[in-house]
Amino acid sequence: MSVRKLKPITPAQRFRVVNGFDAITTDKPEKSLLAPKKRSGGRNSQGKMTMRYIGGGHKKRYRIIDFKRDRKDAAAEVVSIQYDPNRTAFIALVKFEDGEKRYIIAQNGLQVGQKVVSGSNVAPEIGNAMPLSDIPLGTIISCIELRPGQGAVIARSAGAFAQLMARDGKYATVKLPSGETRMILVNCLATIGAISNSDHQLLVSGKAGRGRWLGRRPRTRPVAMNPVDHPMGGGEGRASGGHPRSRKGLPAKGFRTRSKTKASNKYIIERRKK
């Protein structure tokens, strides 16, 4: 994977850094795995704005991703690596021996023609999904379940990965991308390898209009608002308005909002770093 810096032939392209898309093998999605994606523009069923700064953007179709990897011990061949407009990671189209096709999240290093399989008695190779009980300690993993059969919920975005640290009884200790160390049931599935498109963090859009294409509307700074609109609004000139806080008055940038009585606290061994 690589990134390209464009020649500054326009003001927008002066700082633009784009993805090289070296890993992408086709630009035609699998029609049977597409679904319509409706936009709400941040409005609820009454038409009232409940989420600010959302609206517009290019029309997209959703790619139906197999997060559960529930076809056990059935090998599938990687047909192509594709771009997905709904996520930062690339996706892989896999085809089983009976002809069924599915999309999975592509791991870094996954190649066309490679075989991937999900199950207990499989080799710990890139793209294979296995229970945490069968994965060797120290392995880099991604697409991790939090509850057995739920489907992958952890480490799914571009370049994300976790590491299997230890096993004790029915729990495995996993170091997550955030730096948090927590216990997860050993019969939860995880996929071997880090997520593809790790260069995503290096991209530079170059202009505000590109954000509009992605459905992001301009964001107003709280300091520029009036006191009636935000706790940080008002003041003479450029008075910043004290400590940074949310619209509801909750302090930001370091203030911990996690509940002290949350049920999952007992599974967290070490909190994420600030």
pLDDT digits (tens, 9 = 90+) for 165-185: 999 999 999 999 999 999 999
The backbone torsions φ and ψ at residue 73, rounded to the nearest 5 degrees and listed phi first, read 60, 25
In sequence order, the 6+-apart residues with CB closer than 8 A to the CB of 171 are: 183, 184, 185, 186, 267
Instruction: Answer whether residue 11 is part of any domain.
Output: yes
Instruction: Answer whether residue 19 is part of any domain.
Output: yes
18 band by pLDDT with thresholds 50, 70 and 90: very high
Q: For residues 38-57, give the mean pLDDT.
A: 96
Instruction: Answer whether residue 249 is part of any domain.
Output: no
What domain count does the chain have? 1
Q: For residues 139-144, give the mean pLDDT.
A: 98
User: What's the confidence (pLDDT) of residue 1?
Assistant: 65
For residue 86, count other CB atoms closer than 10 A to its CB: 11
Instruction: Answer whether residue 160 is part of any domain.
Output: yes
Whose CA is closest to 174, among 123, 122, 137? 137
- Tell me the pLDDT tens digit for each residue of 215-246: 999 999 999 999 999 999 998 887 776 889 99
User: What's the confidence (pLDDT) of residue 236?
Assistant: 87
User: What's the confidence (pLDDT) of residue 65?
Assistant: 98
Instruction: Answer whether residue 145 is part of any domain.
Output: yes
Instruction: Answer whether residue 113 is part of any domain.
Output: yes
Residues above pLDDT 70, as percent of the chain: 99
Look up the CATH number of the domain holding residue 69. 2.40.50.140
Structural domain of residue 86, as residue ranges? 3-201
The backbone torsions φ and ψ at residue 39, rounded to the nearest 5 degrees and listed phi first, read -100, 145
